[in-house]
């Protein structure tokens, strides 16, 4: 088995259009949750979302390029371009041409689907956009990233709701460490802030009406977000030989299914996924110095995840924080976004706080870092993603 380095990072997030802007906001606990602005806004009740600000496709794509691209694919391509630039892998080289592309997405081209249905049922039009099918399919982001960057290795999409991004990175990790791919681009993307999608989440009665407060006693629910995050995973020796900056090492991956309920997580299964990642890295729980939690800000998630963490770490867990108070919950992209942030926390040796945690819920039995960024020396960090359908995925990263 080969060691796997993280050598490139890219993000498009509610906090900004690149990694520096995203990391700065997360590290400082500056929430990017704002009043929602979408077409046909009068159809929804939820007043807030974590939307990408100042995004104009014309700044990133030609008019010809943007035609086949739903917003979800645009975000993925922009994040992948930044990750490529950050990695220092030269274009038109064998390392890039043979790279794998694995992109997680929860809903696919939701903007394309919704506009098509609006034309059909709202405007009574029988004409559909000619790119409707290639824009809305869940594999579109992976295909578009591979085409825009010229990567001809294994490429596919992963769809497992809110664990999609983490599953994608875990799959890429296994490809690289097994030797099947020398380089892999992996991450997640989502663009779910549409009236129909927001209405669907309103029906679940889990959306907050003001902001997301993970692990806070005054929590009021989750906030939908959007964006994309991509990582470049690379064989360690290959990265070292070309003098690449290594931000972190991927040490382990754990994933399983609750096989019980579509919306209610199972504490035992969640804990088992964390234990699997630790075992995969040939480590013990004591080695983990920080956990980037799934931390959605709902009462059920807070309670189940915290209890699972306490069980795995024998009631002595390391610091735990959630970054969803800043970026919201971007569904298929959120695990990838949090993997990037966990790598940055390791690289800079600082713990990002749990933003908006104004009344820490001490009954949870965790240190949720509510006071602001904290300098912290640690060698191993965990990133958790737990999805509807009981689909659990956990990454373990190490300091380079």
Strand runs (DSSP E) across the chain, as ranges? 4-12, 34-35, 48-49, 100-104, 155-158, 183-190, 227-235, 248-257, 290-292, 320-321, 350-351, 374-375, 380-387, 391-399
Active-site entry in 46, 162, 212, 357 = 162
Beta-carbon neighbour count of residue 344 at 10 Å? 20
155: β partners: 101
Q: Quote the pLDDT of residue 331.
A: 98
pLDDT tens-place values along the chain, 400 residues long: 999 999 999 999 999 999 999 999 999 999 999 999 999 999 999 999 999 999 999 999 999 999 999 999 999 999 999 999 999 999 989 999 999 999 999 999 999 999 999 999 999 998 888 999 999 999 999 999 999 999 999 999 999 999 999 999 999 999 999 999 999 999 999 999 999 999 999 999 999 999 999 999 999 999 999 999 999 999 999 999 999 999 999 999 999 999 999 999 999 999 999 999 999 999 999 999 999 999 999 999 999 999 999 999 999 999 999 999 999 999 999 999 999 999 999 999 999 999 999 999 999 999 999 999 999 999 999 999 999 999 999 999 999 9
Rounded Cα–Cα distance for residues 121 and 109 (Å)? 18
Catalytic residue among 167, 212, 294, 357: 294
> In the annotation, is 294 catalytic?
yes
Catalytic, 148? Answer no
pLDDT score of 382: 99
Per-residue H/E/C for 207-219: ECCCCCCCCECCC
Give me the torsion for CA of 166, 172, 173, 175, rounded to 10°: 150
Q: Which residues of 227-253 are buried (b: 16+ CB within 10 A; e: fewer)?
A: bbbbbbbbbbebbeeeebebbbbbbbb
Question: 162, 391, 161: which is closest to 261 by C-alpha?
Answer: 391
Contacts of 367 by beta carbon, 8 Å cutoff, 6+ apart: 317, 318, 319, 320
Pairing between β-strand 48-49 and β-strand 100-104 as defined by DSSP bridges: unpaired
Question: 177: which 2 tokens?
Answer: 């460490």
- What residues does each domain of the chain span? 4-241, 252-399
CATH superfamily entry for domain 4-241? Thiolase/Chalcone synthase (3.40.47.10)
Supply 181's token pair. Answer: 């791919």
Count of beta carbons in the 10 Å neighbourhood of residue 41: 13
Please state which CATH number belongs to domain 252-399: 3.40.47.10
Q: Are 173 and 91 in contact (CB under 8 A)?
A: no
Q: Are 332 and 109 in contact (CB under 8 A)?
A: no
Distance CA 216, CA 222 (A): 12
Q: Cα separation of 285 and 278, whole Å? A: 7
The yes-or-no answer to whether 4-241 and 252-399 have a common fold is: yes
Catalytic residue among 46, 148, 212, 329: 329
Contact between 255 and 14 under an 8 Å Cβ cutoff? The reply is: no
Question: Which two three-digit tokens encode residue 318?
Answer: 């390391």
Cα(4)–Cα(252) distance, integer angstroms: 10
Closest CA to 83 of 352, 330, 337, 329: 337
37 is catalytic: no
| Cα 343 from Cα 231, distance rounded (Å) | 10
């Amino acid at each position: 088995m080969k060691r796997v380095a993280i050598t490139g990072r890219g993000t498009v997030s509610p906090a900004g259009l690149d990694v520096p802007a995203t990391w700065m906001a997360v590290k400082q606990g500056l929430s990017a949750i704002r009043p929602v602005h979408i077409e046909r806004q009068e159809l929804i009740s939820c007043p807030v979302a974590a939307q990408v600000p100042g995004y104009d496709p014309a700044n990133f794509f030609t008019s010809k390029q943007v035609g086949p691209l739903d917003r979800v694919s645009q975000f993925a391509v922009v994040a992948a371009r930044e990750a490529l630039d950050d990695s220092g892998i030269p274009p038109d080289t064998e390392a890039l041409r043979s790279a794998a592309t694995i992109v997680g997405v929860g809903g696919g081209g939701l903007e394309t689907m919704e506009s098509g249905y609006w034309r059909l049922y709202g405007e009574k039009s029988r004409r559909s956009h000619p790119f409707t099918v290639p824009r809305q399919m869940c594999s579109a982001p992976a295909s578009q990233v591979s085409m825009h960057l010229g990567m001809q290795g294994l490429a596919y999409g992963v769809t497992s709701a809110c664990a999609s991004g983490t599953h994608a990175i875990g799959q890429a990790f296994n490809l690289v460490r097994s030797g099947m791919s020398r380089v892999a681009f992996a991450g997640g993307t989502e663009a779910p802030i549409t009236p129909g999608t927001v209405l669907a989440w309103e029906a679940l009665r889990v959306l907050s009406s003001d902001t997301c407060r993970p692990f806070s006693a005054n929590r009021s629910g989750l906030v939908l977000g959007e964006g994309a995050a991509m990582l470049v995973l690379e064989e360690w020796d290959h990265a070292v030989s070309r003098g690449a900056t290594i931000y972190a090492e991927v040490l382990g991956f754990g994933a399983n299914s609750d096989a019980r309920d579509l919306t209610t997580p199972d504490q035992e299964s969640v804990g088992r996924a964390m234990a699997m990642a630790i075992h995969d890295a040939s480590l013990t729980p004591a080695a983990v110095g920080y956990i980037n939690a799934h931390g959605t800000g709902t009462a059920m998630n807070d309670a189940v995840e915290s209890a699972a963490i306490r069980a795995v770490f024998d009631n002595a867990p390391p610091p735990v924080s959630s970054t969803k108070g800043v970026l919201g919950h971007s569904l298929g992209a959120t695990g990838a976004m949090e993997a990037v942030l966990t790598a940055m926390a390791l690289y800079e040796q600082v713990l990002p706080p749990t933003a908006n945690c104004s009344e820490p819920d001490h009954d949870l039995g965790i240190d949720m870092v509510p006071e602001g960024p904290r300098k912290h020396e640690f060698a191993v960090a965990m990133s958790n993603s737990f999805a509807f359908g009981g689909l659990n995925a956990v990454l373990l990263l190490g300091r380079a």
